[in-house]
Structure 1
């Protein structure tokens, strides 16, 4: 695979502001269930926490909040997508690929 996935509450991740996952909601969820793994800095939103998740497939992915959604990077195995579904379901959201495909 080798591209980003997005956890969002809309049909396409670029429209995440229409039904946002708030930064606070994400960080509360992630701090309870995922491993903290550093920070990433964006010019427009500042510094965001990065969380790691071992998919059990050889992929250890990184997740971070950005513009009303959660971005997942580091997926190389298609099997890893199934391991991430519980996160999107717990947030009442969907798992969407860069090109808008739903998983």
Structure 2
């Protein structure tokens, strides 16, 4: 062996790279009921090797129990926003919670939403503050924080592994 190539291909890394490449190959816009929006980037609190794999999951009951114990989190079960055309967009999810202590929250506007999906807790377009909160939650749930492209985030919200 020359040290540059061992002949072993890690299937998890390959799957993650392929998933990321497929996601980037598509358009960065989607249409929902005639409203075009730019797609966001999800970051996941997960116990899985890669957030999209089968594997150990966080249960909805575990997530709800965590929210009950964290004074900064509130389980709402839905989120609602007004669209530019005046219509209301409502998302219902049993595991949808808000981080009430988020410094970036605005009245009737920006909120830090944490949604339970497929055994993971997901936040769309988190900033460094939210990533840090996600890391704290992950520590209590025996999980880690992983982006759509499979990068891992640390306590300060920075990428610590790719």
Alignment pair present for 1:64 and 2:115: yes
**Residues 4 and 72 of structure 1 are in contact (CA less than 8 Å); yes or no, is this contact kept in structure 2?**
yes
Distance 1:61 1:48 in 2: 16
Q: Which runs of 4+ in 1 moved over 3 A?
A: none
The one of the two structures with greater contact order (alpha-carbon pairs below 8 A, sep at least 6) is 1
Q: CA deviation at 1:74?
A: 4.7
TM-score normalised by length of structure 2: 0.51
Alignment pair present for 1:8 and 2:59: no
- CA RMSD of superposed structures (Å): 2.0
**Residues 45 and 134 of structure 2 are in contact (CA less than 8 Å); yes or no, is this contact kept in structure 1?**
no
Deviations 1:15-72 (CA, angstroms, capped at 9, x unpaired): 1x3111111111111133211233244xxxxx4231111443x253111211111112
Alignment pair present for 1:95 and 2:125: no
Distance 1:84 1:69 in 2: 12
**Residues 62 and 74 of structure 1 are in contact (CA less than 8 Å); yes or no, is this contact kept in structure 2?**
no
Structure 2, unpaired ranges of 5+: 1-39, 79-90, 106-110, 154-162
Distance 2:96 2:49 in 1: 24
Residue 83 of structure 1 is matched in structure 2 by 133
Structure number having the greater helix percentage: 1
TM-score normalised by length of structure 1: 0.76
